[in-house]
Each structure stands twice: as C-alpha cells, then as structure tokens.
Amino acid sequence: MPTLRPPASLPPDIRLMNAVSALLVLALVLIGLGFGLRWVAALPVFSIRQIQIEGDVQRNNVATLRANALPHLAGTFLSMNLQAGRQVFEAVPWVRHAMVQRVWPSELRVKLEEHQPAAYWETKVDGADADSEASADRQLVNSFGEVFQANLGDVEDEDLPTLAGPEGSSAQMLRMWQLLGSRVKPLDDGIDRLDLSGRGSWRMTLEKGAVIELGRGSEAEVLARFEQFVRTITQVTGRYQAPLLSADLRHTDGYAVRLAGVSTTPNPDKKSGSKRN
C-alpha cells in the first residue's frame, strides 16, 4: 500500500499573492456593497415626508419651521446626517438647541429648546471705562447668560434690563443683575441697566433714573457695599424729602449721593447737591 504524503507547502511569494488577491476581492465586494447601500438609501421611497416638532415653539410657528427647514435637510430618511439636521434647526431664530431623531419609515422627530430672553446685551470694547459707549449692535442674553441674535421687535413689550460689558462677560453680568435685583427691592425700584467696564468697575442705573457707581472688587465686596447703601439711603432721602439722583459707593468711609433739589452751597440756582453718609 503506497504511503500518503502531505501536500507540499506553497512558496511564500505564492501565499502572499493569494492573500493579497483575497483582500482585493473582499475590498471590491465591500465597495460594491457600499455603493449599493448608498443607491438604495437615496431612493425616493425613503424621502422624508413628515417632520414632527415638539418642545418650545412660543417664538416660532410650527408650520413655518417645517417649511423653512425641509429644503435645507440634505439626504433621505436613511442617508441624512442627523448632526447636520440639528444645525439646520438651530440656525432658526430663537432656537437654542434641537434634538433630531428618525422615526420609521419617513418621519423626523425634532425637539426644540428656545432661548428665554433675560436681558438686552451691548458689547463694550476691551479696556473701556464705565463711561464709554457700548456697541450699537444690540443683542439679547438668554436665561443661561448666553448672547444670541434675534428680532428685537419680538421682545419690545417685555420689560428687559440692559447689560453692557466686555465680550464674554454676559453670564457674569446676568448673575450680578440677579443678585442685585433681589437686594434693590427695599428701595421700591428695579434695575434698568447694568454696566461693567473693561477694568471691572460696576455701574447700575435704576428704573427711576438714579445712577449708582458700585465700583470694583469681588462679587461679595460689591454686594456688601450695595447692601450697606440700601440699609441707610432711605433715611437720607426721607430726611431731605428728595429723590435720589446718583450715588457713589467707591469711597472707603461711606458713600456720596446727589438728591434732587438739595444743595450744599449757598447758590440758589443750583438744583442738586451732594451728601455723604
């Protein structure tokens, strides 16, 4: 009986050639499948036929949102890039955040979060002092302290304060406005405008017109000066029976005020003067 011998192994170069050939065939198959899937995904049968809008739609009409977004959504239900779709909706005015999901077989579900306006915003040039004018291009600040652009006519009827400060300081200023707002109530007044200079000096304009120089320092230091002012200013205005025009809290030994109709000089023509507490 003849002895069986194992087949002779192929030379290394032949084995390498066979492996390369197999990889090439596999690559061609995968490329073909990729093109095939892309062709299938682009078929009209997979077109997006409905967009369901959920969430905040107080500032935008649902029908208008669908009409404006649909022409800018590239691809079909299967091929559309959801990240790109999210950017399309976030480009709509008043939309802060959008979440886009596919719903089989031809629907997009979009959940929107709109900006909630908290204040007007004016940007001041870096290094400017408190007296410098801010940019004429007014924007809005949302409840997160983020600056955004929208039609200011949409908030004309809303009682919003104005924040004016260096670029990037909107969140800090919104927080300071909130902290000061809770402390100004004993004056039976509100904050109409808050300014922050490039050097870090705060100025507050009240709704009744009084201007208060709060000065520089940490948040706690500024608030402490203002709280001391609030505790005593009503005694001063009550004593002279005159409304407050302005106050300067930057003095180390107290504060200086100007009251309407009160003068510290013998000149009868002078209609306002200063008092220091």
Q: 257 with 277: CB under 8 angstroms?
A: yes
pLDDT tens readout for residues 198-241 = 999 999 999 999 999 999 999 999 999 999 999 999 999 989 99
Per-residue pLDDT, 184: 96
Amino acid code (one letter) for 50: Q
Residue 266 pLDDT grade (very low, low, confident, very high; cuts 50, 70, 90): very low
- Report DSSP state, residue 136: S
Instruction: Name the percent of the chain in helix, strand, coil, to the closest 5.
Output: 35, 25, 40
Q: Is the pLDDT of residue 143 over 50?
A: yes
Phi, psi for 136 (deg, rounded to 5):
-75, -15
CATH architecture, domain defined by 117-276: 3-Layer(aba) Sandwich (3.40)
Mean pLDDT (whole number) for 130-157? 84
Mean pLDDT (whole number) for 265-271? 46
Three-state SS for 268?
coil
Q: Is the pLDDT of residue 185 over 90?
A: yes
**Domain spans, the chain:** 45-114, 117-276
Q: 102 with 86: CB under 8 angstroms?
A: no
Range scoring the smallest mean pLDDT among 57-71, 120-134, 224-238, 246-260: 120-134
- Give the CATH H-level superfamily of domain 45-114: membrane protein fhac (3.10.20.310)
Percent of the chain with pLDDT over 70: 81
Q: 264 with 241: CB under 8 angstroms?
A: no
Residue 123 pairs in a beta bridge with 165
Per-residue pLDDT, 64: 83
Residue 127, token pair as written in the block:
């290094």
pTM reported for the whole predicted model: 0.77
Residue 258 pLDDT grade (very low, low, confident, very high; cuts 50, 70, 90): very high
Residue 277 pLDDT grade (very low, low, confident, very high; cuts 50, 70, 90): low
pLDDT tens readout for residues 40-87 = 445 454 578 888 999 988 888 888 888 888 888 888 878 888 999 999
Residue 268 pLDDT grade (very low, low, confident, very high; cuts 50, 70, 90): very low
Find the angle CA(93)-CA(98)-CA(100) to the nearest 5 degrees: 135
Mean pLDDT (whole number) for 99-107? 90
**Cβ density class 100-139: b for 16+ within 10 Å, e for less:** beeeeeeebebebebbebbbbbbbbeeebebeeebeeeeb
